[in-house]
Structure 1
Amino acid sequence: MIVTICIGSSCHLKGSREIVHTLESLIKEYKVEEQVQLTGSFCMGECVKGVCVKVDDKSYSLNPSNTKEFFMQEVLGGLEDECH
């Protein structure tokens, strides 16, 4: 699974750095380093919604306060779906 976080200027101002750090910590905490690849990208064209994050090809808008919920539902949940 590839998780791409926008690190362009607009998303940076909305907290992309904090989101990156949170996701890095959660990936280590749940020991899914082998299954989840965290990458960065400049503007992904969704600036008005929040920090743009893609899981494979599906887009999401995040802020620092909903990052853990996103990780639990979309990243861990997606990994569980891949296993079944």
Structure 2
Amino acid sequence: MAYLTGKTRGGADWTPTFAEAIDPAKCIGCGRCYKSCSRQVLGPEDLIDEETDSTRMIMTIVKTDNCIGCAGCGVACPKKCFSFKPMAV
């Protein structure tokens, strides 16, 4: 299978990996990923825990088409909530 590829500034091949999902069980809603993304891919969402009847904020992928595959959000995430995937062409 062929994937979308590019070149780094130094000329090396690079395969971008795009944000595919955020694990809501791991996310603590700290917002570090949100702050690291200049493309407005992420946004906050309230998650309601029906067992405890409490609400907590988590981050979600709201604009998938804006992702450029830099994986900066995953690097910024202290809980490693993100899963990434290259784009097939």
Tell me which protein shows more helix as a share of its residues.
Answer: 1
Tell me which protein shows more strand as a share of its residues.
Answer: 2
Between Structure 1 and Structure 2, whose CA radius of gyration is higher? 2
| TM-score where L is the length of structure 2 | 0.27
| TM-score where L is the length of structure 1 | 0.28
